Amino acid sequence: MSTEDQIRLHAVIHGRVQGVGFRAFVVDKGIAFQVNGWARNKWDGTVELMAEGDRQTLERLLADLRRGPRMSNVTKIDLDWQPASGEFRSFYVRTTV
């Protein structure tokens, strides 16, 4: 896939998303969808993620994020679509900020 087909999704997920395995869920989905990027907890109780891939795949990832893992309760997702940078080589958990 050429880099022109790639886009970046920056999302902040609100709700009951910490302490319920949400980051691991995101990483599992990122790997399954073969997108690159990261997920991390934020001190305000949200989970932030950056993911790069094709738009259709990222939309499927986003649909799964809206559902989340079993114990989560997603109330809102702030989205920002950006050009892909190609800087990520895998999908991983980053340190809390």
- The catalytic site residues sit at 23, 41
- What's the CA gap between 71 and 24, in Å, rounded? 13
DSSP, residue by residue, 42-85:
-TTS-EEEEEEEEHHHHHHHHHHHHH-STT-EEEEEEEEEEE--
